[in-house]
């Protein structure tokens, strides 16, 4: 009866281990399960304590228990190998995430530098445009001043001519009046032309002022978008800091897992040494 029970027990444990392997437990859960398994050392001590068994039965029972221990160790090794693969996968994912963060940061820096260059370019263009507009206004004022001087000279010349004609004989009065009339018409034509040019110039200035207002409105929209981008960059930086903090915590957890695996390895080595010594005594 004892021999039959000893054969059934390892089979039940192997079935339980195969079900556990399919679940891929967390490191802490795996360690708890390993600690909850029967002590190999305790089992061997009980086998030696059965003094009523014959030497043949004791050797057979010891061999079966060692086989059971080997199966348990194989199961534990498989579980540790799976856990190591999971840890390697986590490390690879962490490295990939870090590379993505560096690429995103480099891309954001490039966008920021491009934005600064574009702003400087627009600023220089605006300065050049204002300078050109000032020069055009100056030239226009000079043209108007020159035209007024020309008109004034014409008027002065007309008055001079008129006074000169008044001195002429009465026989020349009609001719002088005709000449004066022509002069008046020329002056009126010049004034009309000046008025038309002034109207054209005023229209051009209004168009330029409207274009300038449109450019200012466009610049305000660009600056508003720049402020939004700056806000998003700050939010991204905050998320990166949170992510870095979580990565640090994960690294600490992995170090704790490594220490736990080291303790487990020591325990397994000690257990293996005890089995070897008991086997040598039984031999």
Q: Report the pLDDT value the prediction gives residue 228, as an integer from 0 to 100.
A: 86
Indicate if the pLDDT at residue 165 is higher than 80. no
Give the pLDDT band (50/70/90) at residue 12: very low
User: If you count them, how many residues does the chain have?
Assistant: 283
Which residues lie closer than 8 Å to 198 by C-beta, 6 or more apart? Answer: 144
Radius of gyration of the chain from its Cα atoms, rounded to whole angstroms: 52
- pLDDT tens column, 196-224: 888 888 888 888 888 888 888 888 888 88
More confident residue, 45 or 265: 265
44-68 mean pLDDT: 67
pLDDT (0 to 100) of residue 252: 82
* DSSP string computed for 217-229: HHHHHHHHHHHHH
Express each pLDDT in 227-266 by its tens digit: 888 888 888 888 888 888 888 888 888 888 888 787 878 8
Phi, psi (rounded to 5 degrees) for 17: -65, -40
User: Mean pLDDT, the chain, as a whole number?
Assistant: 76
Res 211: pLDDT: 86
Per-residue confidence (pLDDT) for residue 214, from 0 to 100: 87
**Cα gap 132→283, rounded to integer Å:** 108
In the chain, pLDDT over 70 holds for what percent of residues? 78
Residue ranges of domains in the chain: 2-41+66-282
Task: Lowest mean pLDDT of 2-16, 77-91, 98-112, 157-171, name the range.
Answer: 2-16
For range 66-72, the mean pLDDT: 87
**Helix or strand or coil: residue 50?**
coil
CA distances from residue 134 to 58, 90, 120, 173, 211 in whole angstroms, order as listed = 114, 66, 21, 50, 15
**With 0-12 CB in 10 A as exposed, 13-18 as middle and 19+ as buried, what is 254?**
middle
- pTM, entire model: 0.27
Task: Please tell me the predicted confidence (pLDDT) of residue 53.
Answer: 54
């Amino acid at each position: 009866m004892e021999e039959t029970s000893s054969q059934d027990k390892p089979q039940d444990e192997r079935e339980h281990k195969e079900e556990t392997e399919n679940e891929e437990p967390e490191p802490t859960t795996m360690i708890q399960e390993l600690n909850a398994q029967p002590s190999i050392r305790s089992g061997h001590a009980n086998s030696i304590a059965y003094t009523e068994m014959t030497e043949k039965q004791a050797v057979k029972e010891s061999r079966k228990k060692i086989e059971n221990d080997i199966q348990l160790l194989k199961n534990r090794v498989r579980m540790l190998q799976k856990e190591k693969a999971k840890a390697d996968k986590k490390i690879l994912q962490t490295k990939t995430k870090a590379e993505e963060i560096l690429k995103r940061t480099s891309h954001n820096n490039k966008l920021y530098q491009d934005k600064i260059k574009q702003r400087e370019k627009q600023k220089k263009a605006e300065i050049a445009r204002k300078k050109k507009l000032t020069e055009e206004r100056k030239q226009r004022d000079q043209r108007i001043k020159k035209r007024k001087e020309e008109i004034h000279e014409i008027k002065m010349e007309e008055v001079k001519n008129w006074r000169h004609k008044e001195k002429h004989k009465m026989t020349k009065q009609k001719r002088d009046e005709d000449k004066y009339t022509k002069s008046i018409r020329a002056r009126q034509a010049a004034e009309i032309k000046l008025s038309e040019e002034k109207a054209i110039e005023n229209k051009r200035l209004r168009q330029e002022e409207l274009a300038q207002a449109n450019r200012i409105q466009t610049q305000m929209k660009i600056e508003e978008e720049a402020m939004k981008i700056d806000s998003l960059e700050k939010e991204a930086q905050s998320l990166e800091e949170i992510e870095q903090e979580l990565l640090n915590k994960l690294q600490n957890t992995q170090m704790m897992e490594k220490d736990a695996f080291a303790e487990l390895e020591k325990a397994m080595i000690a257990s293996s040494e005890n089995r070897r010594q008991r086997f040598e005594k039984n031999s």
